[in-house]
Chain A
């Protein structure tokens, strides 16, 4: 029972910390933490989707950034044609990334393990090169968006603090949706496919379909993250979907701890905040950050969340 309560406590703490960020910013006069918080939450949304695939289904996608990029480009391209309303841009962003996930998922899911990693990378790279060659939309120089999306004509996103809470709302919704997916019958089958695909198949489940559905869900959530990222930065660029970014997303969720959803958010926050904090210290911050990742890999089985869990057990004796 205690474990259960603690399991609920952690997400509560996480979301309370996020919700308090703008208040802290107002109190300290450091408005930068609001922008930083927005960035963390946007990547956390993408990370949740990736954790759904990797942590629950052992589908290690190395092309996840492509969905972010597609979502972002939906906003950018629509805005370039004068359509700046989120009521249009958001559904388009979700649909485009979802369709891309469906089309590529059909192909990718034929493979397993490392082959799956590489084939998702291949599609990610194709998306990247396509975006880079979109000369009317800035090519690889990217595309500046004139202003953040309107919501039914109302500039809800314009104020940073308001936008912060919008993103927080999306993060919470994504988190709850992922929780629901994981707990559902669908989620149990999907998880089962990770443990033993053959058994699930003999039980009469079409594992491939479940995996494809999960892949599309993850793609749509990635698109949501891209929609928000384009609005946060008021800019889109092929760099949003580079393989380095896909790799970073993977590192974030492993860093936090796979297969707990909480870990995805914690890992993203830890990764981005450490990056910000260490790079403020020294230009050579990667000399510190690199070994830190190594230490996490070697000693903290299950990332930060796993480490925290074991520390707790240690304290209890």
Chain B
């Protein structure tokens, strides 16, 4: 059979059975998230957000029945690789959605790209993937890791804080956060304090901050570290005195634990539950009704990932099993994000988006959440996109 005849027959087959065949064929999505250990709450937000997105679209993405396989990377890079190999080789998924942490992302990106499968990150955005190591198979519905830190640096600059102390755990993401902050901050950095990963007691750091008397503090302390630090910062009486700026530290995953200690603290974020647009209103209301907790940005990013896949399958003309078609479609896909307006991608697959300063509040219903204070950047592109050879 000549190739032309084959394609002709194939075309006929598609034309003839388009509706019937595709309704039966399921869209297989593999999700990899951190679902155990102290950081499990982040994975839970992301997964719940994604599942709500699928639910809102009637259990179908791009008109195809969805089969979602969820795997837990346990926050171990090699376990992540094993699980993603399972998704790719055994479950033969059409799209991979994940992950939460950059170190796991760095580990799994190669096997996913090598298999020529679209990888959608609803969270982690390490700089190598945004710059030189960018891939046509990669799209983020979150941010490049630096973006929210950059917003806080710009905010500190605009606020006129002259002297600042930076605090982050002693790991790569912590160093990146400080680099991101300093990109737009022109004032004096009095001290860069690196605490230990999973540190419990921050008395020493807090005493140091009090002694340095900065105009403001910028902290990146995700998860339990953030809870410990924020509580102890407030207990030491610094909360009202030295303005506290952060990113990924005070959000809806930690607010149930920090509560009043965190109220009034400012963070950088591309989204908050009260962001005023119809898509977001529906998302937040239904999320709280379904899962009984307030969504954090991780949930919003998961939700957008579902919307993105839906739009991509449509853009690919339903050819979700055709990986090349999906690769092209995922870049062209257009949908209205919970961030408001059309979702825009940069050449490196990371979003072009507005970034805000948000503030933790106690809502009228007694729950804690973040709220938009002001916009810092519009259609903000990350700093690494210029190194990405993709067009």
Q: Contact: A144 with B103, CB < 8 Å?
A: no
Residues of B close to A144: CB separation below 8 A:
106-107, 109-110, 128, 133
Residues of A close to B96: CB separation below 8 A:
none
Interface residues on B, range: 20 to 34
Q: Contact: B170 with A133, CB < 8 Å?
A: yes
With contacts A138-B106, A279-B71 taken as known, whether A39 is within 8 angstroms of B172 at the C-beta atoms is no
Q: Contact: B107 with A233, CB < 8 Å?
A: yes
Select the stretch in B83-91, B264-272, B356-364 that faces chain A: B83-91
User: DSSP class of B's interface residues: helix, strand, loop or mixed?
Assistant: helix
Q: Contact: B110 with A234, CB < 8 Å?
A: yes
* Docked CA distance A30–B172 (Å): 37
Judge if A85 is at the interface, Cβ distance under 8 Å: no
Complex: chain A residue closest to B91, CB-CB: A32
Q: Contact: B111 with A239, CB < 8 Å?
A: no
Judge if A150 is at the interface, Cβ distance under 8 Å: no
Q: Contact: B106 with A132, CB < 8 Å?
A: no
* Docked CA distance A247–B320 (Å): 42
Q: Contact: B77 with A32, CB < 8 Å?
A: no
Q: Contact: B171 with A139, CB < 8 Å?
A: yes
Of A141, A233, A245, A280, which is within 8 A of B126 by CB? Answer: A141
Q: Contact: B110 with A235, CB < 8 Å?
A: yes
Residues of A close to B197: CB separation below 8 A:
132, 140
* Docked CA distance A133–B78 (Å): 19
Of B36, B70, B71, which is within 8 A of A286 by CB? Answer: B36
Residues of A close to B70: CB separation below 8 A:
283
Q: Contact: B76 with A138, CB < 8 Å?
A: no
Residues of A close to B106: CB separation below 8 A:
138, 141-144, 235, 237
Judge if A31 is at the interface, Cβ distance under 8 Å: yes
Complex: chain B residue closest to A132, CB-CB: B171
Q: Contact: A31 with B78, CB < 8 Å?
A: no
* Docked CA distance A242–B89 (Å): 28
Residues of A close to B111: CB separation below 8 A:
234
Q: Contact: B172 with A139, CB < 8 Å?
A: yes
Judge if A36 is at the interface, Cβ distance under 8 Å: yes
- In this complex, how many residues of chain A approach chain B with their Cβ under 8 Å: the count is 31
Nearest-neighbour CB distance to chain B for A218, whole angstroms, equals: 21
Residues of A close to B110: CB separation below 8 A:
144, 234-235
Judge if A157 is at the interface, Cβ distance under 8 Å: no
Nearest-neighbour CB distance to chain B for A42, whole angstroms, equals: 10
Q: Contact: B85 with A32, CB < 8 Å?
A: yes
Complex: chain A residue closest to B69, CB-CB: A280
* Docked CA distance A242–B82 (Å): 18
Residues of A close to B81: CB separation below 8 A:
233, 235
Judge if B156 is at the interface, Cβ distance under 8 Å: no
Complex: chain B residue closest to A31, CB-CB: B89
Residues of A close to B78: CB separation below 8 A:
39, 229, 233, 235, 237, 239-240
**A113-144 vs B: 1/0 string, CB under 8 Å?**
00000000000000000001101001111111
Judge if B72 is at the interface, Cβ distance under 8 Å: yes
Q: Contact: A141 with B103, CB < 8 Å?
A: yes
Q: Contact: A32 with B175, CB < 8 Å?
A: no
**B61-104 vs A: 1/0 string, CB under 8 Å?**
00000000011100111100110011001100000000000110
* Docked CA distance A237–B108 (Å): 12
Tell me which residues from 230 to 287 in chain A have a Cβ below 8 Å from any Cβ of chain B. 233-235, 237, 239-240, 242, 244-245, 276, 279-280, 283, 286
Complex: chain B residue closest to A140, CB-CB: B171
* Docked CA distance A132–B76 (Å): 14
Of A36, A142, A234, A280, which is within 8 A of B103 by CB? Answer: A142
Of B35, B86, B126, B133, which is within 8 A of A32 by CB? Answer: B86
Judge if A174 is at the interface, Cβ distance under 8 Å: no
**A16-36 vs B: 1/0 string, CB under 8 Å?**
000000000000001110011
Judge if B173 is at the interface, Cβ distance under 8 Å: yes
Q: Contact: A32 with B90, CB < 8 Å?
A: yes
Of A30, A234, A279, which is within 8 A of B90 by CB? Answer: A30
Residues of A close to B172: CB separation below 8 A:
135, 138-141
Residues of B close to A138: CB separation below 8 A:
106, 172
Q: Contact: B72 with A283, CB < 8 Å?
A: yes
* Docked CA distance A142–B108 (Å): 11
Complex: chain B residue closest to A34, CB-CB: B89
Residues of A close to B109: CB separation below 8 A:
144
Nearest-neighbour CB distance to chain B for A36, whole angstroms, equals: 7
Nearest-neighbour CB distance to chain A for B4, whole angstroms, equals: 30
Q: Contact: A36 with B82, CB < 8 Å?
A: yes
Nearest-neighbour CB distance to chain B for A212, whole angstroms, equals: 30
With contacts A35-B89, A237-B78, A279-B71 taken as known, whether A132 is within 8 angstroms of B170 at the C-beta atoms is yes
Residues of B close to A35: CB separation below 8 A:
82, 85-86, 89
* Docked CA distance A138–B173 (Å): 10
* Docked CA distance A140–B101 (Å): 11
Q: Contact: B72 with A39, CB < 8 Å?
A: no
* Docked CA distance A144–B127 (Å): 13
Of A32, A142, A245, which is within 8 A of B89 by CB? Answer: A32
Complex: chain B residue closest to A233, CB-CB: B81
Residues of B close to A39: CB separation below 8 A:
78, 82
* Docked CA distance A32–B115 (Å): 13
Greatest chain B CB density within 10 A among A39, A245, A276, A283 is at A283
Q: Which residues of B contact A (CB under 8 A)?
A: 35-36, 70-72, 75-78, 81-82, 85-86, 89-90, 102-103, 106-107, 109-111, 126, 128, 133, 170-173, 175, 197
Closest 3 CB pairs of A and B: A139-B172, A32-B90, A32-B89
Told that A138-B106, A237-B78, A276-B86 touch, could you supply 7 new A-B pairs with CB distance under 8 A?
A36-B86, A132-B171, A139-B172, A140-B171, A142-B106, A240-B78, A283-B70
9 contacts between A and B (CB under 8 A): A36-B86, A138-B172, A141-B106, A141-B172, A144-B110, A229-B78, A235-B110, A239-B78, A283-B72
